[in-house]
Amino acid sequence: MKKVVLVAISAVFALLLALLGPDFLGIYRLQSYVTASAEANQAGGGAWPRLADACLSCHGVKGNSLNQGYPSLAGQPASYLAAQLHDFASEQRANPTMSPLAMTLSDSEIQSLSRYYSTQTAVANNYFQPDPRLRARGELLVARGSCVACHGARLMGHDQFPRLAGQSYDYILKQFDAFATGARKEPSGTMQTIAKALSPEDRKAIANYLADLNRDKK
């Protein structure tokens, strides 16, 4: 049956080509172009104007930040990103830039942005050079703290837990300090407890290790 259908489709295609000639080929090529363009638009964050364009200056192309002060969004779990945007919008998580921006987004836009960044590939954080001593200390502390239990294998994140591997150094350290002082909170209270138990030097060590981790490095 399948063979018959394929033969019939081929025959129709040949007949249309014979009758319409170049016109039919033009229509076919146009359809192929429209399909390819639509797929490219979707892969690039949707048709113009794109919501993600407002994020470029801080979070980088396709969510890979070149500035250690801003987080990379590429490869972050969609549910985590959506939750953070909702928290910024409600000011449960305070930020003078993100809160006003998040307030302008509808729920569907938040979901769209979150899905887009979650599908982007996280690249190596080559703009950070770790302190070897601190990195080694950080690796030990991360292993002792069983961070993989929440943040997943290779610390790439999943569900509501963010990707830590290859994240921007200054951003990681700032979040650790915010959890330690109570300026930032999360529902379970786990990060507040962990951060408070760490010395400032240990927080720097963990940030060194995490910023140097990513899928492109062994």
Is 158 strand, coil or helix? Answer: strand
Could you tell me if 63 and 74 are in contact, meaning their C-beta atoms sit under 8 angstroms apart?
Answer: yes
**Residue 82 in domain:** yes
Which DSSP string corresponds to 121-160?
PPPP-TT----HHHHHHHHHHHHHTTTHHHH-GGG--BTT
- Specify if 143 maps to a domain: yes
- Contact predicate 216/124, CB 8 Å: yes
Number of structural domains the chain divides into: 3
Q: Please check whether residue 103 lies inside any domain of the structure.
A: yes
Burial of 217 per CB tally in 10 Å (0-12, 13-18, 19+): exposed
List the pLDDT tens digit at each of the 218 positions of the chain: 656 545 555 665 566 556 666 554 455 444 544 444 444 455 455 554 578 888 999 999 999 999 999 999 999 999 999 999 999 999 999 899 999 999 999 999 999 999 999 999 999 899 999 999 999 999 999 999 999 999 998 999 999 999 999 999 999 999 999 999 999 999 999 999 999 999 999 999 999 999 999 745 44
pLDDT score, position 117: 97
Residue 35 lies inside a defined structural domain of this protein:
yes
Same domain for 96 and 63, yes or no, is: yes
Residues 70, 33 within the same domain: no
Q: Phi, psi (5° rounding) for residue 158?
A: -170, 150
pLDDT of residue 51: 81
162 and 206 belong to one structural domain: yes
Domain identity same for 16 and 66: no
Q: Which of 135, 130, 140 is nearest to 205 (CA)?
A: 135
On whether residue 217 sits in a domain, the answer given is no
Domain that holds residue 98: 51-118
* CATH code for position 172: 1.10.760.10
pTM listed for this prediction? 0.77
Any domain includes 123: no
Does 27 lie in the same domain as 61?
no
Report residue 161: phi and psi, to 5°: -100, 125
* Contact residues for 35 (Cβ-Cβ < 8 A; gap 6+): none
Domain boundary among 60, 93, 118: 118
In a domain, 125, yes or no: no
Q: Please list the residues that pair with 158 across neighbouring strands.
A: 161
- Regarding whether 61 and 35 lie in a shared domain, the answer is no
pLDDT of residue 214: 73
